[in-house]
Structure formats: C-alpha cells, structure tokens
C-alpha cells in the first residue's frame, strides 16, 4: 500500500524535524501495528534523507489507555527525549507537539471508516491538517 498524501506546503524547504504520530494501544492490534510500522519506516527514511531529527508522538484517551513508553521506544528505535505521550484528543495533541518541537513534516495514519462511525468521529488527519498551517502532513492508510 502507498501512503495517501495530504499536503499543504509552502514549497520546497529543508526538513529539520520529522514527527510521526502513532497509536499503539488500539484494539485491532494487527491493523494498527502495520500502519504504525509504515509510518515509522517512512518517517525514518525522510529524516535520514534530510538529515533531520525524528520524533514520535502517541495520544491517548485517559489513564486506562496510557501507552507503554518502553514499547514505543523499542518499535521506533528512539531515545526517551524523542518520544512523547500525552492524554487528549489526537488532533490537538499531535498539532500541539508538532508546534512545540517546530516540526516541518508530520506523518499520521488514517483508517477508512464507513457509515455512522465516519460521520460521528471525523478524520483525525483532516483535523491535524487544519491545525497545522505551513507544515507538510502525510497520512498513511
């Protein structure tokens, strides 16, 4: 599968900080694990290509859904200072952390929803895009 790219860009610019948004605590582990892997591999490739710093963010709903930070570090290969986990709405957490680290590019995953679920929840990648002016946002499905 190829990434679905949603980009609002101000043109060609150097990339210094790449942020990958993952979700390791979803119920459908296999589907999200594959999506997380795609996001991490592409993020690492972009960071390597541009000699950029690579970061990972994981939002969670509440303390019952707190992600395993050690697991995030293991699957991303990143040290603790490059891994951020925060409680809250994913679009808000991702966009806030992207601004905090001054990210140039944000990679996120999106899974197709149908019917009422799609109408009720909306699309996180679209919400992130609307909150991040001037950044490239790449969504993977």
Tokens of 49: 């290509």
- Asked if 55 and 84 touch (Cβ cutoff 8 Å), the reply is yes
71 DSSP 8-state letter: H
> pLDDT, tens digit, for every residue of 105-126?
899 887 655 444 444 345 666 7
Range 15-22 average pLDDT: 92
Q: Where are the domains of the chain?
A: 4-140
- Which pLDDT score, from 0 to 100, does residue 63 have? 81
4-140 classified as CATH 3.40.50.300: no
* pLDDT at residue 28, as a whole number: 64
Q: Apex CA 58: angle with CA 56 and CA 61, to 5°?
A: 170
pLDDT for position 122: 56
Question: 119: part of which helix (H) or strand (E)?
Answer: helix 115-121
Q: How far apart are CA 69 and CA 140, in angstroms?
A: 22
CB 120 within 8 A of CB 106: no
Q: In the structure encoding, which two tokens stand for residue 137, read together?
A: 């946002």
Q: Measured in whole angstroms, how far is the alpha carbon of residue 38 from the centre of its chain? A: 11
């Amino acid at each position: 599968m190829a990434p679905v790219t949603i980009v609002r860009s101000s043109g060609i610019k150097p990339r210094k900080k790449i942020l990958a948004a993952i979700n390791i605590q979803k119920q459908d582990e296999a589907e999200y694990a594959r999506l997380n892997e795609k996001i991490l591999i592409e993020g690492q490739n972009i960071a390597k290509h541009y000699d950029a710093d690579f970061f990972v963010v994981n939002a969670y709903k509440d303390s019952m859904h707190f992600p395993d930070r050690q697991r995030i570090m293991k699957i991303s290969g990143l040290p603790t200072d490059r891994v951020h986990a925060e409680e809250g709405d994913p679009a808000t957490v991702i966009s806030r952390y992207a601004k905090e680290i001054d990210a140039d590019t944000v990679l996120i995953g999106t899974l197709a929803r149908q019917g009422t679920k799609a109408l009720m929840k909306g699309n996180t990648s679209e919400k992130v895009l609307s909150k991040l002016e001037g950044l490239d946002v790449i969504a993977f499905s």
